[in-house]
Structure 1
């Protein structure tokens, strides 16, 4: 149980960065500047590469927010005398430079690992809002993938950095996915998000 609490304490800045990324991209000024990563281009099958929901601004905003949130979180934990509650600080010094860089890395991985899922969904014509339409098998598969894709890269990286066992890494990915669902439910409740 203590390990799970430490995992959440370690990952809280990424969760915050994800929420703030979504909120900031809803501001009309920023929303109007969201250019898709794929430049609106199609793949050889005639379908979009990633779609409109994956934007250059969203990608880099999440990367920067990850850095700033990790920086803030490290300072807060230090101020509260709880530095050792984060798995990262069992192996690395709680230093502003490290925090900003590791936060940016986590933010970057969060966005990067969403792209393969988006690419596959475009190939199979799976709608982001309808999650597979009437194709129940696809609906379930992509629902699970949507929850864990961004966590996959982060947890693999964290696992290497803090020497997680393979079992702990898999558990961390699924805990991340479960948390993703809970956070999305809250965002739907507050009308920030329309669907899971």
Structure 2
């Protein structure tokens, strides 16, 4: 029973986790598929400020959706269980999760632009802590909502997925800073405190 539960968790989290790592450490780092680096807001502005900003591109959407779809399709035979019923084919599970994950980042980007926070930048104080935490849970929350809509998993499992997914998200972000991947960016205040705790 517990083994089946772990399979369910892995089926939802692993495709997005692996795709996220691939996106950051391979695609962005090597600047692959540059033709897709077109902003999803098409350069549009509201009151002179970008809607989402230049860092939210179609490349991110394509990599996340296609990557999660492929990983889910390949791992589904190993991780699927009789107790969890999906209402869509296995390849579409990952695609929808990837779409939900990608869309979830947009509202935060929209809010940051309205608060005059530059793309991929952090600010200090309570506002900085708020937006850093929001960035860690926004896409996870929308992916979990998608998971609840396309399967019969209970809300309790969705809460566990949200908690674990957010934890993985924070961990990857910390690794990106500590490993120097985000060396050009200042570490968020909250992350600095967490990394320097003894």
- After TM superposition, the score normalised by the length of structure 1 is 0.79
Establish whether residue 117 from structure 1 lines up as the match of residue 90 from structure 2. no
Question: Match for residue 60 of structure 2?
Answer: 58
* Aligned partner of residue 16 in structure 2, secondary structure: helix
Question: Match for residue 167 of structure 2?
Answer: 178
1:30 and 1:50 map into 2 onto residues whose CA distance is 21
Question: Match for residue 9 of structure 1?
Answer: 10
1:169 and 1:150 map into 2 onto residues whose CA distance is 14
Residues 126-137 of structure 1: pairs in structure 2 closer than 5 A: 126-131=117-122, 133-134=123-124, 136-137=125-126
Alpha carbons of 1:27 and 1:9: their partners in 2 closer, same or farther (altered >3 Å)? same
1:83 and 1:29 map into 2 onto residues whose CA distance is 32
Deviation of residue 189 (structure 1)? 4.0
2:5 and 2:137 map into 1 onto residues whose CA distance is 17
Deviation of residue 192 (structure 1)? 3.6
Establish whether residue 149 from structure 1 lines up as the match of residue 138 from structure 2. yes
1:164 aligns with one of 154, 161, 165 = 154
- After TM superposition, the score normalised by the length of structure 2 is 0.78
Q: Deviations over 1:161-192 (max 9, x none)?
A: 23322x54334323211110112223334444
- In the alignment, structure 2 segments of 5+ residues that lack a partner are 188-198
Alpha carbons of 1:178 and 1:120: their partners in 2 closer, same or farther (altered >3 Å)? same
Deviation of residue 35 (structure 1)? 1.0
Deviation of residue 29 (structure 1)? 4.3
Residues 32-43 of structure 1: pairs in structure 2 closer than 5 A: 33-43=36-46
Alpha carbons of 1:8 and 1:39: their partners in 2 closer, same or farther (altered >3 Å)? same
1:13 and 1:28 map into 2 onto residues whose CA distance is 21
- Over aligned residues, Cα RMSD in angstroms? 2.7
Does the aligned pair in 1 maintain the 2:37–2:57 contact within 8 Å? yes
